[in-house]
Structure 1
Amino acid sequence: MAALRSFSARADIEAILAARDAERIDVPVLQPAEPFLDTAGEELRRRIFLTQGQNGRAMCLRPEFTIPVCLQHIESKEASGRYGYVGTAFRQRDVGASEFLQAGIEDIGNADTNAADARSLADALACVSDLGIKPEQCDVLIGDQAVFDQVLAALGLPSGWRLRLAHAFGHDATLEATLERLAQPITMPQLPDPILQAVKEEDTAKLEELISTAMDEASLTNAGGRSASEIAKRLQAKFVQSQLVPEEAKLDILRKFLSISVPLDQSVDVLRAFEKDNMIDLAPAIAVFEERNKSCIAAGLDLGSITYNASFGRRLDYYTGLVYELRSLSGDVLVGGGRYDRLLPLLGAAKATPGVGFSIWLDRIVEASA
């Protein structure tokens, strides 16, 4: 199919999706805001267009399709489904219009997650090829949230550190800043002796009482919008962090891991060498990674043309494993996708439900193929 020159070819796009056994699905433009605010993360929250319904409920213009498609899947009570969509998304972007066409496929409920991951990536590549983008016109980059999480666990980093690092994954600047902060000891603020003693003894009730009394004496009902209870929790968390001695060796190992960037056909060997050299156990994550690579080969993918970058993640909080992007040679993201196994339970699914999918930025496809 010739490259799209306008968005009048919606029927052609729908035919491309249907050729991959994706059931056509439509989702309303106006969506409840809570699912996006609660599950998608700061990257999407700060970009959506919010409004309010007559009942006072927060609503938003549809900023993406994965969450609405998952919600409709849950309502259908089907065990599994492959859904194809094409429609307008609305969100603020650093470059480009805030109203733009997207298309994609969501594969929900497929228990063979490795095969589903491979098919998702293969479908994404096939779709952009059908839309006029040749393989030499784009780069394919993958990462893996689960491997990163396994490295954090294997290093034995404190849970608070792991949470902060996992949250920063996919944001290069934020991740590096977090590593820099973790390398520096945290000092406690100057506190009155009774409050400091309550913090050290983990006496939460006493600490809240002392803080509340101090606030009353200063004629403050709250401090910076925080209650005595919230201030107590923050002080206790900061004290725990102040007792942690920075472990430079572990942070150095983590930096070595994040520097890994190799063709996908070399990735398993490189990960095993990293595991051996640093004497940590990554066997469960590497086993899944290797099986997924085999599924990718079975799906007809050339692993040598795909780059695995250990620091690559996508800026949505619901991803749990494979993440990937197809980028134009100028660096624009043409397609983004990945696995989101924790999303459906968060949205109200009665049981654990796997999911993987991708979205195509059709306006960028036009630009890249021009």
Structure 2
Amino acid sequence: MTETDAIVALIALFEREGYARVEPPVLQPADVFIDLSGEDIRRRMFVTQDASGAELCLRPEYTIPVCLQHLAHRGAQPSGYAYGGPVFRMRPNESGEFLQAGLESIGRGDIAAADAEILGLALEGLGLIGAPTPTVKLGDMGLLHALIDGLGIAPAAKRRVIRTIVSGQDLASLSEADGPGNQEHAGLLAAIEGQAPQAAKAFVEDILSIAGIASVGGRSPGEIAERFLARAANRTVLSNDAWQVLERYLAIQGDPDQAAEAVRVLAKETGLDLNAAVGLFEERTGFMAARGLDVGAFSFAATFARNLDYYTGFIFEVQDPRRSDGKPVVGGGRYDRLLEHLGADSPIPAVGCSFWLDRIVGRP
């Protein structure tokens, strides 16, 4: 089977399940991907300009373009979409143009059922195009967010913690931001941490003005303010207790039932209210089992996080055990805030996945 044949077969399956085929334009506004995609995509984009000087990019993935198209035509109405075609990213020793297929479910309120449906269709689709028995990795950004919020971690520190986990680094790397320079100005850094950038910059410039400081080392007040903002953004501000709880959470792994039990034990012993997040996790597992999926064979790891910034809940990757590079053949998850960032009046629930066809079937 060729990649083109695989797209035809997958689209037919998804359309039978109620997902309408769409094909967003290849040229997309670059700023949207720069603001909302993960670093892995941002640094691999092919960027150009139109006649007016506006930056455009060749479509690096389908999720954002499908969401933009949905907002333009359907608003908040529930809809399902299937797609298949070329995407463009710079890849060492590989073609910058390759084929992807996938599906997106937008606007459904039955969160757990929609999550299970997407994973179920991903596995059914792999079987349809002749992929070998895969391994399934699960994660849950919703559990991580609930834990961090329960610990009362400040917004700036929360962003840094999540970036650290997504990039695969150990929490110990967070301490690198708390060197002598940051301790020296701890009071000012704490005052501006979490503020909107413009407000924080104005605050620092006012402090310098009150002190009668026009420049330091040749830097203007505005430049000095920018440096303080950068330091504030890198502050960890994790208490020892929060650190220990996060370390315990990140050590959790096992099948979904084992993971849920471990999180409930952690919540009980630390006094954190994680009932809503764990309840959704368990409900999703129940819907997976109801679809006939072998949830006992799935592997959950609290450290697992996909390298796109917009995921907010359930995430997964499907791997071909024959591949030695560990790269997924299918990846996806839930992104409930993405459409609001793209212009929706309020958050719209959404979940989807993409197939990396060049990793699954041979080219013609």
Q: TM-score over 0.5 for the alignment?
A: yes
- The alpha-carbon deviation at position 232 of structure 1 amounts to 4.9
Aligned residues of 1:211 and 1:228 also touching (Cα < 8 A):
no
Measure the CA separation in 1 of the matches of 2:180 and 2:46.
38
Percent identity, please. 35
Residues 1:151 and 2:151 are matched in the alignment: no
Determine the structure 2 residue equivalent to 1:37.
34
Measure the CA separation in 2 of the matches of 1:41 and 1:229.
27
Determine the structure 1 residue equivalent to 2:165.
169
Determine the structure 1 residue equivalent to 2:63.
66
- The alpha-carbon deviation at position 341 of structure 1 amounts to 0.5
Measure the CA separation in 1 of the matches of 2:118 and 2:341.
22
Amino acid at match of 2:208: L
Aligned residues of 2:9 and 2:128 also touching (Cα < 8 A):
no
- 1:243-292 alpha-carbon deviations (Å, 9 max, x no partner): x5x63343122112111110123222122122223343322211111111
Aligned residues of 1:198 and 1:207 also touching (Cα < 8 A):
no
Measure the CA separation in 1 of the matches of 2:285 and 2:165.
22
State the secondary structure of the residue aligned to 1:301. coil
Which residue among 303, 306, 311 is the counterpart of 1:311? 303
Aligned residues of 1:179 and 1:251 also touching (Cα < 8 A):
no
Determine the structure 2 residue equivalent to 1:83.
81
Measure the CA separation in 2 of the matches of 1:31 and 1:318.
18
Determine the structure 1 residue equivalent to 2:103.
105
Q: Unpaired segments of 5 or more residues in structure 2?
A: 193-202
Which residue among 274, 287, 290 is the counterpart of 1:295? 287
Q: Unpaired segments of 5 or more residues in structure 1?
A: none
Measure the CA separation in 1 of the matches of 2:146 and 2:190.
32
Which residue among 338, 341, 348 is the counterpart of 1:346? 341
Aligned residues of 1:81 and 1:108 also touching (Cα < 8 A):
yes
Task: Select between 11-20 and 68-77 the one with higher mean Cα deviation.
Answer: 11-20
- The alpha-carbon deviation at position 210 of structure 1 amounts to 4.9
Measure the CA separation in 1 of the matches of 2:264 and 2:167.
25
Amino acid at match of 1:151: L
Aligned residues of 1:24 and 1:83 also touching (Cα < 8 A):
yes
Amino acid at match of 1:277: E
After superposition, residues 82-231 of structure 1 pair within 5 angstroms as 82-94=80-92, 96-135=94-133, 138-173=134-169, 175-181=170-176, 187-188=181-182, 204=204, 205-208=206-209, 210=211, 213-215=214-216, 219-220=218-219, 227-231=223-227
- The alpha-carbon deviation at position 197 of structure 1 amounts to 9.5
Measure the CA separation in 2 of the matches of 1:344 and 1:357.
13
Amino acid at match of 1:139: T
Determine the structure 1 residue equivalent to 2:50.
53
Task: Select between 206-215 and 81-90 the one with higher mean Cα deviation.
Answer: 206-215
Task: Select between 150-159 and 80-89 the one with higher mean Cα deviation.
Answer: 150-159
Amino acid at match of 1:298: A
Instruction: Please report the TM-score for the alignment, with normalisation by the length of structure 1.
Output: 0.84
- 1:97-140 alpha-carbon deviations (Å, 9 max, x no partner): 221100000000111111111101101111111010133xx210
Aligned-residue CA RMSD (Å) = 2.9
Measure the CA separation in 1 of the matches of 2:164 and 2:212.
32
Measure the CA separation in 1 of the matches of 2:269 and 2:190.
39
Amino acid at match of 1:159: P
Aligned residues of 1:198 and 1:206 also touching (Cα < 8 A):
no
Larger radius of gyration: 1
Measure the CA separation in 2 of the matches of 1:301 and 1:273.
26
Measure the CA separation in 2 of the matches of 1:262 and 1:362.
28
Which residue among 11, 16, 24 is the counterpart of 1:27? 24
State the secondary structure of the residue aligned to 1:227. helix
- The alpha-carbon deviation at position 9 of structure 1 amounts to 5.1
Q: Residue 291 and residue 32 in structure 1: after superposition, are their counterparts in 2 closer, same or farther (change >3 A)? A: same
Aligned residues of 1:263 and 1:304 also touching (Cα < 8 A):
yes
Q: Residue 64 and residue 212 in structure 1: after superposition, are their counterparts in 2 closer, same or farther (change >3 A)? A: farther
- The alpha-carbon deviation at position 321 of structure 1 amounts to 0.2
Measure the CA separation in 1 of the matches of 2:175 and 2:15.
48
- The alpha-carbon deviation at position 177 of structure 1 amounts to 5.0
